[in-house]
Structure 1
Amino acid sequence: MKERVFFEEFESLYYFHGSTQNWSMQGFHFHNQYEIILFLSDGALLEIGDRVYHVMKGDLFFVNNREYHRTSGAEGQEYNRYVLMFEPELLEPMTKAFGYDFTMFFENRGDDFVHKLYLEGENLKRVERLLARIETNIGSGSSDEASVKIRLSILELITAINEMYKFFTKEKHTAADQEERKLKGDEEKFRDPILYRERVEQIKKYIATHVEEKLDLDEIAGKFYMNRYYLSHYFKKETGFAVLQYVTNQKIIAAKALLKKGTSVTDVALKLSYNSDSHFISVFKKSTGITPKKYAQNKKNNNV
């Protein structure tokens, strides 16, 4: 049975604190925002790609804006959590201003990255206090001062979480061990779940950083010294998507960002290496249900 995947629109800043019962997403979704989730009850299930996390109270998760995921609550139980979502653009200028990588656990991840950080005791209370401060600042109005307070409180939360994550997370392999494994790797050894997961993560990062290029299966396979069969098989096994389907999804995310900035449809098509305007419009409409021009108009009207 093929899993349903959908792109979901949210405000640039989204915050939720509360509980629901017998709640479950109907399929995997992804969105433009980074997401931080803190669970305050046991029993929920969080799936990110093909990774499945059985949630306990105090589990905190990082999800970036390219990861397909879904959550479901335990049947008959309250599903209590904090959810904070914000667009990457909020962090980028702050990273330059402070000389500190606020995105380190959203972007610059090691191959053995685990999305989950377990908190208890004072650490859990600290993160809850910081989230509550964000909630207070969000509710304080829409003035310039309120906007500054919101951004600063989010930066304080991320800094605290980064500090905790670095403290509690130990590297499973030394850099030398990882290099040796790469040198010894071949197609037969690549079948090991850990090895193909690492390779697929590298391929996903390559697609993200080369999204403006005209990517095809042979070019990607050659880049990673794999044949088409292994690339297609293991990428689909790890992500649930065909390679070119994943490429298309990443291009649509990039296209939306450009359209929101006011880039013309023709320039977006050119920048993302589509064969023509009509080809881009067709792909965009098939993926989103509306034309790129209509999407840009909707965004412009909402910002008025």
Structure 2
Amino acid sequence: MIFNENYSIELEYEHCKGSICDKSDNLMHKHNTSEVFILISGKVSFFIEKNIYTLNSGDMVILNYTESHKFIVHTCEDAEYIKVNFLNKVTSFINPPAYDPTFCFTVRPAGEQNKITLKDSDFAKLMEICTKIEVLRNNQPFCYELLELLYLLEMLIQINYIYLNITLPETKYPRPQKIQNIITYIDDNFSSEITLEELENRFFLNRYYISHEFKKLVGTSVINYIITRRLQFSKELLRGGCSPREACSLSGFNDYSNFLRLFKKYENMPPSRFVMQCNKNETSTNPKAHSAKKINKAYTSYNLPDLIIKDLTWSPETPKEGDLVIFSATIMNKGRAPTPDGVVIGVGFCIVDDKGSTIASTWTDKHTRSLVTGDSIMLSANNGDDGRRYWIAREGIHKIVAYVDDMDRIAEINNENNKFEKILQVCK
């Protein structure tokens, strides 16, 4: 089915102007959709799998649902970008030998050939299509849903035409593991004091080497990267209802006057005016606007656990059709407090077919011991559909989606990072 019960193709479209929108994509994540990202102005570092791409005005990134990614808007840039997320099933009515408009999203190896530098004429054509989508969403005329599908197909056809006519490879930088370890450490600890001296001692690397390699790979200095992460988090806190002083403290700025100075320098407004703009924009055309405030209130509770899935496995490792498959997940608490003792740490496992439909579910709901900060535990399914802890394997390619704290029993710093996906191929 292309349209859901609400007559929608579930297209997500965001046109973000200025810093008010750069709120959600600064942690590595995946979608159940393919994504188009077009940078209109500013400078962005895009992390995809093990590569880093530096984007300038007129660059585009394409992603499929298997590719883990994040992007960072450079603090000195007032970025404007368009982000489109769509389900691949919207082209399911197109049969071979007709050309598949999702070709360039699915044919690439993960993390490869993601960035495309657009010619002026190609950029103009894509902007024309985006304008039509925005006018359509604002006016919602007769046959709105069909027109939205047609404009999306027009965009995908244009992107495929551009992709197939690329003559120069995009510039990418494989991430050396040493620098990746530093990026991960900063992402996990930016609200604490971090200096080049500390990084030098912790990772046994010369600080000048760190500075040079970090700037070359990420496109900005270590200090600016830390400031960017803190400012982004402070904006999340402000959106969630924190006062400027609370946002300053929780995001790692120890000096309030310095926080105000940096916020105004990089956001071109003080925190108080930023809050007023957020309140004013709550009824914007962004479909997530109404829920953003509710979601971001999770950030206002600082001393809480934060559960993530580090890995997803199954037994047998290479199942054949008819095998009884049991799923397991390795759970880590990367938060700032242990989980409550006696409260279930649950994990749900969903088996999704190639059409995007959930065909079976299993789960684990027996573990009640506290999980302290930094510790990990492997949990295996103990129940499921029809009381079975296993899934009877079917031939084909399946997406396995695991959710930690699937029943929302535990208050967390961030419940947007509880999902983990892997592809499982079952042979006869």
TM bin, normalised by shorter chain, reads 0.5 to 0.7
**Alignment partner of 1:61: what SS?**
strand
Q: Is this contact kept in 2: 1:29–1:69, CA < 8 A?
A: yes
1:286 to 394, 404, 422: 404
- Specify the alignment match of 1:153 in structure 2: 151
**Alignment partner of 2:71: what SS?**
strand
Please report how far the alpha carbon of residue 104 of structure 1 lies from its aligned counterpart in structure 2 after TM superposition.
Answer: 0.7
2:144 maps to 1:46: no
Please report how far the alpha carbon of residue 111 of structure 1 lies from its aligned counterpart in structure 2 after TM superposition.
Answer: 7.5
Q: 1:137 and 1:73, CA in 2 relative to 1: closer, same or farther beyond 3 A? A: same
Tell me how far apart the structure 1 counterparts of residues 351 and 135 of structure 2 sit (CA, whole Å).
Answer: 31
Amino acid aligned to 2:150: L
Length-normalised TM-score, structure 1: 0.56
Q: Deviations over 1:127-175 (max 9, x none)?
A: 11111112222333275x1111111111111111101111114699xxx
Length-normalised TM-score, structure 2: 0.41
Tell me how far apart the structure 1 counterparts of residues 42 and 116 of structure 2 sit (CA, whole Å).
Answer: 15
**Alignment partner of 2:134: what SS?**
helix
Please report how far the alpha carbon of residue 75 of structure 1 lies from its aligned counterpart in structure 2 after TM superposition.
Answer: 0.5
Q: 1:287 and 1:118, CA in 2 relative to 1: closer, same or farther beyond 3 A? A: farther
Unpaired segments ≥5 residues, structure 2: 1-8, 171-175, 177-312, 320-327, 331-346, 364-380, 392-400, 410-428
Please report how far the alpha carbon of residue 21 of structure 1 lies from its aligned counterpart in structure 2 after TM superposition.
Answer: 2.1
Unpaired segments ≥5 residues, structure 1: 1-10, 173-192, 194-213, 221-242, 292-304
Q: Deviations over 1:244-270 (max 9, x none)?
A: 76xxx9x647289434xxx6xxx4449
Amino acid aligned to 2:155: L
2:114 maps to 1:16: no
**Alignment partner of 1:75: what SS?**
coil
**Alignment partner of 1:78: what SS?**
coil
Higher percent of residues as strand: 2
Amino acid aligned to 1:141: Q
Tell me how far apart the structure 2 counterparts of residues 168 and 70 of structure 1 sit (CA, whole Å).
Answer: 24
Q: Deviations over 1:229-285 (max 9, x none)?
A: xxxxxxxxxxxxxx976xxx9x647289434xxx6xxx4449xxx77416479x955
Q: Percent identity?
A: 18
Q: 1:155 and 1:82, CA in 2 relative to 1: closer, same or farther beyond 3 A? A: same
Q: 1:158 and 1:49, CA in 2 relative to 1: closer, same or farther beyond 3 A? A: same
- Specify the alignment match of 1:71 in structure 2: 71
Q: 1:284 and 1:118, CA in 2 relative to 1: closer, same or farther beyond 3 A? A: closer
Please report how far the alpha carbon of residue 113 of structure 1 lies from its aligned counterpart in structure 2 after TM superposition.
Answer: 3.5
- Specify the alignment match of 2:84 in structure 1: 84
Q: Is this contact kept in 2: 1:58–1:118, CA < 8 A?
A: yes
Larger Rg: 2
Q: Is this contact kept in 2: 1:217–1:244, CA < 8 A?
A: no
Please report how far the alpha carbon of residue 117 of structure 1 lies from its aligned counterpart in structure 2 after TM superposition.
Answer: 0.8
Higher percent of residues as helix: 1
Please report how far the alpha carbon of residue 14 of structure 1 lies from its aligned counterpart in structure 2 after TM superposition.
Answer: 1.0
Amino acid aligned to 2:352: A
Q: CA RMSD in A?
A: 4.0
- Specify the alignment match of 1:140 in structure 2: 139
- Specify the alignment match of 1:167 in structure 2: 165
2:258 maps to 1:258: no
Tell me how far apart the structure 1 counterparts of residues 390 and 47 of structure 2 sit (CA, whole Å).
Answer: 31
Please report how far the alpha carbon of residue 74 of structure 1 lies from its aligned counterpart in structure 2 after TM superposition.
Answer: 0.8
Q: 1:91 and 1:12, CA in 2 relative to 1: closer, same or farther beyond 3 A? A: same
2:117 maps to 1:103: no
**Alignment partner of 1:159: what SS?**
helix
Amino acid aligned to 1:100: Y
Q: Is this contact kept in 1: 2:33–2:85, CA < 8 A?
A: yes
**Alignment partner of 2:95: what SS?**
helix
Q: Is this contact kept in 2: 1:32–1:253, CA < 8 A?
A: no
Tell me how far apart the structure 1 counterparts of residues 169 and 83 of structure 2 sit (CA, whole Å).
Answer: 28
- Specify the alignment match of 1:61 in structure 2: 61
**Alignment partner of 2:104: what SS?**
coil
Within 5 Å, give how 1:272-283 maps onto structure 2: 276-277=383-384, 279=389
